[in-house]
Amino acid sequence: MKRYFHIALIVVFTTLVLLFKVQNIDNVTVSLLTWSVTLPLSLLLIGVYVLGMLTGSALVGLLRESVRGAQHK
């Protein structure tokens, strides 16, 4: 039963991601200083989400190590 629940969850999540991709196909241009790139809005949002996850987890790890270091002194 649990296996079917996980399969259904994966199917629903994949369907939502594909629906998001299809509905946000318009191109947007992002600029930073002299650098600019044009890409679909959905790819930009997914990229920003992934970068946020990476930087957020790095920040949490850095703060955790700082607290551990301060406790040992």
- What's the pLDDT tens digit per position in 51-73? 888 888 877 777 777 777 777 66
Check residue 29 and give its pLDDT: 93
Give the span between the Cα atoms of 24 and 50, in whole angstroms. 17
- Domain residue ranges in the chain: 2-72
Please give the backbone phi and psi of residue 32, each rounded to the nearest 5 degrees, phi first.
-145, 110
Give the span between the Cα atoms of 13 and 68, in whole angstroms. 37
Give the span between the Cα atoms of 11 and 2, in whole angstroms. 14
pTM over 0.75: no
Check residue 49 and give its pLDDT: 87
